[in-house]
Structure formats: C-alpha cells, structure tokens
Structure 1
C-alpha cells in the first residue's frame, strides 16, 4: 500500500495535528482511533499515526480502504466516518501546500458505502426511569445520589455523556433550570432539564458538600469519582464511569442500558409529546433528519397507527 516515509514536514505543521486540533475532545478521541485503524488497513501497522505521510494518500488507497471496510461488514455510517476523517486530514494537507487542489478533489470524489442500518439502542420508558431512580434511592452509598443525579441530567436534558462529564458547577443555573455545555463542533449550548432533575442534582451536591472537610471549597465540576469504601474523591468522573453506571443500574432492573439511550429516550419523548421541530431544537441538531433518526418508537406503535386507517 503506502510506502513508509521517514521525511519530516520541516517547519510545516502536521496536517493530522491540525485536523485533530480543531475537533472537540470527544471527537478527537474517536477520530484518532479511526485514523489509527485506517493506517493499519493501509499497510502501516507499525507506524504511529503522527508519523504517517497522510499527504501521500491517493484516491486508490481510499477506495481500497472503503472496500475492506465493506468486506468486514462495517455499517455505512461507520465507513463514512473513516472517509471523512481522511478527507479532513487531506484538507489540512492542501492548506499546507503538501498536495495539489486536483489531488484533493480526487480524494473528495471517493464515496463511502451507501445504505443504512436499523438504529441500535432503545427507548427507556418513564416506568423504567422511575425504577432506575428507585434503585439509586435505595442505595445508601454516595453512589446512589450521584448516579441518580447523572441519570436525571442525562434523561432530563438529553445531553451526551461527554457533555455531562465536562459540566462545571458554574455552568448550572438552578433558577433557570439550565445547563451550559460545550457540545460537538466546540459549540456552547444551553440545555434545560425539568424541576425534578434539578432536585435530584441538588440532593447529590448537598451530600458532596457535607463530605468536605471544614473550610474546603466545593469542587468546580459536577460529578465526582467515588472509590471503594464510598470515598468521594476530588476528581472529575470519566466517560467510562458513566458507561459503567448505565450498565450497572440497568442490570439492577433487568435492562441493558447504554448512556446514549437516555438521549435517545429524551428525543423520542419530545417527538411523541410535542413535535419533531421542537425535538431538533432541544437536541441541537443542525439537520432535522438527524433528529428523526433518534425516533425509537417501536413496531407496535407503528402498527397501531396503521390500524387506525379504517374504511
């Protein structure tokens, strides 16, 4: 595939670094993984992605990459992620005069696999949300109140887990019931949550403050890591911990839950009870088609709609 080059870019900045630098932190992690896998598939298994000569990628390489992803039964959306990642790096390579505009246009002409897949995930009904809150309330450890607050904010506002992890106390307005988050594309967004979610959050914060030694200021962030022995650390929680909490609390009520299911459920409920355009605004989606893809209403509900078409 691509011959490994040992040359340096001199005073020019690496197109890979420039591309990753303009991404949000969560997207940066994802695209780093995607580009590392792409480099491996392009025959550069033993080369760090920062040493890969991305400006030497040709349309044929990208076409071959799409073919291997298709052969491995990767979903169309995932294939698009790979193609867009390499396009992003090549855009930066063009800006650095490492490739010609003609080469950039040829790279852009390579299309990912078309098609779609059935959306994974689930719609967590209100009855299950209540069960989750009851399970947390029955947990006498600090984890009980913290996990209840995390679930309340994720489901009540529809925010992403990365956004909840990065939330700071200064970004929360209890009077307005709003939360200012840094979303995808480095955009500042205002999320809203219901009164009950803020009440659960306040219960967690009160418990956290009561555990602090006298004279110590409260933590700047919202959710803390809790170690064995129920010790509330002064460290911010991680995205992996949010994943673990969703899985653990879900098992307690007999449901397999992913953190993003709370966002799916929020958007589905807004679509059900209001309309698609309001759901789009609350989800902060640029395109309404993205919001529509979050509609997790099941086949039974679709059948009931059709059954109403009587003669």
Structure 2
C-alpha cells in the first residue's frame, strides 16, 4: 500500500501517539509566528478559523463536557505544529476531501499547514528536509461554479425596507450595511474596515481595505449614500468605524467595530425576518456583480469595481451567457 493510500484516520492516531508529550515548548509556537506575519486582520481571522479546525482534526480540542467541542475552547497554540510531517498533511487533505470540502477550501488548509511549517523551519523547530516533504504535498486542481444565489432588486428593496421598519438603531444600521453590501459590492471582511473619515460624500466614494491589505475605492450609488447618511444622523457618529455593534437595548458599542462574523449574522437574520430565501453577505456581493453584468457593464469595469484581480473571476457571474448557452442547447433537436 502506498503512502497516499493509507487510512487517514490511522495516520492521525499514529501522529497523536507520537507527539503526545509535545504540547508545551519553551519556544514560541510557529502558528503564532505565522499569524503575526500575515498582512491584515481579515487574513488572521480566516487563518485562525482554519487553525481551530485543524486543531480539532488533530485531537487538540478541549472538551467542556462529553461530546461537546465548542470552537471557543480550541487553542491552536496547544498543537505541536513543529512535529507535522508529510503523512499527517496527506491525511488531513484526504479527510477534507472525503468530507466534501471544495478544492479552494482544501488548498487553503494545505497553505496554512505549509505556512506554519515554514515558520517552524525559520525558528529552528523543524528540520528543513521535513518541511520540504510537507511542501511537496500537491494542492488539488480544479474549480467549482460559485455557490449561492443573486437576489432580485425587489428582494433587496424588501430587505432594506424591513430593516428601516424595525425599531431602534440596529435596524437603521442594518439598512445602511445592506445598502453598502449591495450598492458597492464589498466583501464582508472589507465592509467592516470602513471608517467614516474614508467616505467622500462629494465624490460619492468610500475606501476599504481589501485582500492583501490593499486599499481600494468603491463608488456609492445615491440610495447607499441616503442610507449611510441616515445611519450617521441617527447614531451621532462622526469618526472612527462606520459599522459598530448595537446592544439588545439599542446602545452603540462605540469602542468596537462590527466583525465579519457580525456582518454574516446581521444579513442572515434580516433575510430570515423578511421572509426571503436563504442568502449570505456574499450573495449581496454576487447580486451587485450580476446586476452590473445584466445591465451590460463591461467585464473590465465590473472586475475593477469588485476588486477582482482577473476578469476570469468576474466572468463566472455572467447570467446572460448562461441564458445564451441554454438557447443554443435548445437548438439541438433529436
């Protein structure tokens, strides 16, 4: 039996037994070094989530009660990452594949493990030949069509109106947030970076921090400006983060900004309350792109507005092409 054909669960059990006494180390954990070297807080949030999942897979989750593995109790720094080897990485890749994870997700997990191993080598906690064996584990190839759905403008209007009809500041904030997500198309990790001082109402633009810690400028339609202006007027905010948590009693938490997870919770909750089919923050971004392309905005402009490095990514949101493909297929008569 070849190395890649071995039972992945048995490979992880073998590794757990091998490193059972390695939970503590006098040196800084390579996972901490890897996180510190990432360019943005959004990247660190994503990688922390991956590390927690990996820690659970590797058997380093702290149980509060039998059968419970709450995410908050998983500390990636308890994992002896410096003892990773090629068999463990292959086992993780196979278990993720068996679990039905997407190619992109599996490759993200591989990238994180390789990045941690690289930091372990730099910190003289792992032999270079051990790292090279890990680095040679191949990423998966292929891609999948975008999941989710594009909301119709009627649904967006219903969603915003529902928020505005809700009592308290939370509804006004959520309407502005939804207006920003659909009207400008930022990622949820980008929308939480918006500071009030980065909004140019005269130029109808706003600056966000995107992937790779790069600042980019978004154009704001009039409806989005109206919703944001209403939020600022009602909240009394004049500087700092645009979107902040609101307590159940309607008080703004002024020393914190909304998190990407908070954005997800707001959108999914409001969608459910408005009686719409399931939708996520990325579906609002998808709706933004689909609306542009359906209205014959060229691919290059749409890609620039979305912050896509390549128009190939933007092309995947072309519904018009799908309709033309269907019409062409209907000509095949037999």
Q: Following TM superposition, by how much is the alpha carbon of 1:225 offset from its aligned partner in structure 2, in angstroms?
A: 2.7
Following superposition of structure 1 onto structure 2, how do residues 139-158 of structure 1 map, counting pairs within 5 Å?
139-158=166-185
The count of corresponding residues between Structure 1 and Structure 2 is 301
Q: Secondary structure at the match of 1:179?
A: strand
Q: Deviations over 1:180-220 (max 9, x none)?
A: 112222222222221221122111111122xxxxxxx7352
TM-score, length-scaled by structure 2: 0.79
Partner of 2:242: 222
Mapped pair 1:181 → 2:208 = yes
Partner of 2:9: none
Q: Deviations over 1:61-91 (max 9, x none)?
A: 1111112222222222221111111011122
1:281 to 304, 307, 315: 304
CA contact (8 A) 1:156 1:197 kept: yes
1:25 to 41, 46, 49: 41
CA contact (8 A) 2:60 2:78 kept: no
Q: Following TM superposition, by how much is the alpha carbon of 1:286 offset from its aligned partner in structure 2, in angstroms?
A: 2.5
Q: Secondary structure at the match of 1:301?
A: helix
CA contact (8 A) 1:146 1:204 kept: yes
Partner of 1:14: 29
In 2 relative to 1, CA 113–307 (structure 1 residues): closer, same or farther, beyond 3 Å?
closer
Q: Secondary structure at the match of 1:224?
A: coil
TM-score, length-scaled by structure 1: 0.84
Partner of 1:214: none
Q: Secondary structure at the match of 1:124?
A: coil
In 2 relative to 1, CA 290–200 (structure 1 residues): closer, same or farther, beyond 3 Å?
same
Unaligned runs of at least 5 residues, structure 1 = 210-216
Partner of 1:41: 57
CA contact (8 A) 1:122 1:296 kept: no
Partner of 1:207: 234
Unaligned runs of at least 5 residues, structure 2 = 1-14, 63-73
Mapped pair 1:82 → 2:109 = yes
Mapped pair 1:243 → 2:243 = no
Q: Following TM superposition, by how much is the alpha carbon of 1:278 offset from its aligned partner in structure 2, in angstroms?
A: 2.0
Compute the RMSD of aligned alpha carbons: 2.9
Mapped pair 1:108 → 2:135 = yes
CA contact (8 A) 1:143 1:230 kept: yes
CA contact (8 A) 2:90 2:137 kept: yes
Q: Following TM superposition, by how much is the alpha carbon of 1:309 offset from its aligned partner in structure 2, in angstroms?
A: 6.9
Q: Secondary structure at the match of 2:305?
A: helix
In 2 relative to 1, CA 7–161 (structure 1 residues): closer, same or farther, beyond 3 Å?
closer
Q: Following TM superposition, by how much is the alpha carbon of 1:30 offset from its aligned partner in structure 2, in angstroms?
A: 2.5
Runs of 4+ in structure 1 off by over 6 angstroms are 307-310
CA contact (8 A) 1:270 1:278 kept: no
